[in-house]
Amino acid sequence: MCLNYITNETCRDCIATAAQDILQVCPNTREAVVWEDECQLSYSNQNFFGQVNVTGNILGLDNKQNISQPEQFKSVVKETLNNLTTDAAAFNLSTKLMYATGEAAFEDKTIYALVQCTRDLSGDGCNSCLQTAITDVLNCCYFSIGARLLSRSCYLRYELYSFYGHTSKSPSSTNDQGASGGKKMRIIITLMVVSACFALVLFACFIYCLVNKKARVRKGISRQANTRIDADFPRIDFASIQAATDNFSDSNKLGEGGFGPVYKGILSDGKEVAVKRLSCCSEQGSEEFTNEVLLIMRLQHKNLVKLLGFCIDGEEKLLVYEFMPNRSLDVFLFDRSRRAQMDWNKRVNIIGGIARGVLYLHEDSRLRIIHRDLKASNVLLDYDLNPKIADFGMARIFAGTEGVKLIPPKLQGLLVTWLQNMLCKECILLSLMCLALECS
């Protein structure tokens, strides 16, 4: 509803502003009403046409200066508003303006008053709404020289100065305004819907990119085929490993372990490595296998054989370790000529190094790992005969096969795990004692 004295252009601008304000101030509400200076806009999820609604009336004082004789002033204002109410409610069916303005003298001043109802009301409905408004405004503000009341169904205002024009819009101009206003509202609503859909699409794209980025981060290592050894890119392509081992030639074969044969290889940068070609059937898929290998690669200790990289190519799964030139401890212990190379200092150093590596696996590493296959063949020696434990973490990769037992920290409070942990520690202590006897 626009106040009847404003122009069509002013009405359109006012309604457009109200449409923006009502969406900002009252988002996601089922019903709302907003009053601008010269218009009102409301919506609801229930039919309110033709119904008088005087709930939530808003009273406003345009001038807080008080009148000198409030009771006489109240009487004149009441009479003026009642007369205007009669005129507005007795509307002409052809025009149905439901609007009236008037003036009244008070002492040496002039009172200017205006009343208007929404045009969906009947004459009785308009009269009822304005009578309630008059009662409310006089009870509140009869001592003020100016006031207004904003209702969902009607509007009134009085001042001691002229605030309205003296020409009313003709019915034809009113109809033009309604058509133009409705068209503009449809345009505004259409733009809002399109903007909301566009924002929704952008939000969906953002979520998709975010999820896709996280998936790429999780799977990035398994998707890369990098031929160089690097902590950030531990995966090596199968062709490079084939070339490094001369297509897994028997001449490069170092031995046969519990999980498959081991080959010596030389990468393109000249680095010597040991390649374990896994022959056991892992119960895990490629992604799980990759994650477990990366987990084992985090274990770093001077008495552990360093896992440098891995490869997945179809059914082929390979682990690339640092190369140990002196093979395993059993080669020295059970060979008379090589056994002579190990004096007591070296033997004590070997036993101490094995113990430090086991302690790291059991107590100091991020994972609690119990190596249940600790033996001389799983202890490798570098150039200086320093010991390094091999084949730790293989049970995790092969999901329950022989070798080692990983005990996740979250399960350590369970009695069964505690008993198993204690038994495994007893076993590893026995294994260390056996190795000490073999080295003596």
Chain segment 343-396, per-residue pLDDT in tens: 888 888 999 998 898 888 888 877 777 776 788 888 899 888 899 988 776 655
From its phi and psi, is residue 255 left (phi > 0), alpha (psi between -120 and 50) or beta? left
* R_g of the chain, CA atoms, integer Å: 45
pLDDT in the model for residue 183: 66
> Whole-angstrom Cα distance, residue 91 to residue 4?
14
The crossing angle, in degrees rounded to 10, of helices 8-25 and 171-223 is 30
Domain boundaries, the chain: 8-191, 238-439
Distance CA 79, CA 329 (A): 116
Q: Is the dihedral of CA 366, 372, 373, 378 positive or negative?
A: positive
User: Domain 238-439: which topology?
Assistant: Transferase(Phosphotransferase); domain 1 (1.10.510)
CA 401 remoteness from chain centre: 40
Q: Are residues 381 and 326 in contact, defined by beta-carbon separation less than 8 angstroms?
A: yes
CB atoms within 10 A of CB 105: 9
Query: pLDDT tens for residues 265-292?
Result: 999 889 999 998 887 555 556 676 777 7
3-class state of residue 58 by DSSP: strand
Contacts 24+ apart (CB under 8 A), 22-30: 23/192
CA dist list (Å): 288 to 224, 283, 291, 370, 399: 16, 9, 5, 21, 10
Place of tokens 């981060």: 217
Tens of pLDDT, residues 103-117: 999 988 899 999 999
Class of domain 8-191: alpha beta
Say if strands 368-371 and 272-277 run parallel, antiparallel, or are unpaired: unpaired
CB atoms within 10 A of CB 408: 10
Tokens representing 340 are: 């002579």
The answer to whether residues 156 and 133 touch, using CB atoms and an 8 Å cutoff, is: yes
Higher pLDDT, 280 or 27: 27
By annotation, the residues acting in catalysis are 373
CA distances, 349 to each of 195, 295, 326, 388 (Å):
74, 29, 16, 11
> Two tokens at 427?
């076993």
Q: Is residue 171 left, alpha or beta, with left meaning phi > 0 and alpha meaning psi from -120 to 50? A: alpha
DSSP state of 363: I
List, for residues 224-240, the tens digit of each pLDDT value: 434 344 445 578 889 99
What would the pLDDT profile of 295-345 be if each residue is shown by its tens digit? Answer: 778 888 899 998 888 898 888 888 999 999 888 888 888 888 888 788 888
Measured between alpha carbons, how far apart are the two ends of the chain, in Å?
Answer: 105
Rounded distance between C-alpha atoms, residue 297 and residue 264, angstroms? 20
189 Rama sector, left if φ>0, alpha if ψ -120 to 50, beta otherwise:
alpha
Mean pLDDT of the chain: 79
Q: Nearest to residue 398, comparing CAs of 208, 257, 300, 231?
A: 257
Residue 217 has pLDDT above 80, yes or no: no
pTM attached to this predicted model: 0.43
Q: Which band of pLDDT confidence, cut at 50, 70 and 90, is reported for residue 63?
A: low
Nearest CA among 416, 297, 436 for reference residue 375: 436
Q: What angle do CA 289, 403, 401 make, to 5 degrees?
A: 55
pLDDT tens-digit series, residues 141-192:
877 888 888 888 999 999 998 988 644 433 334 444 444 556 677 788 888 8
Spatial distance between the Cα atoms of 434 and 440, rounded to a whole number of angstroms: 10
Distance of CA 174 to the CA centre of its chain: 50
Query: Of 152, 155, 74, 86, whose CA–CA distance to 111 is shortest?
Result: 74
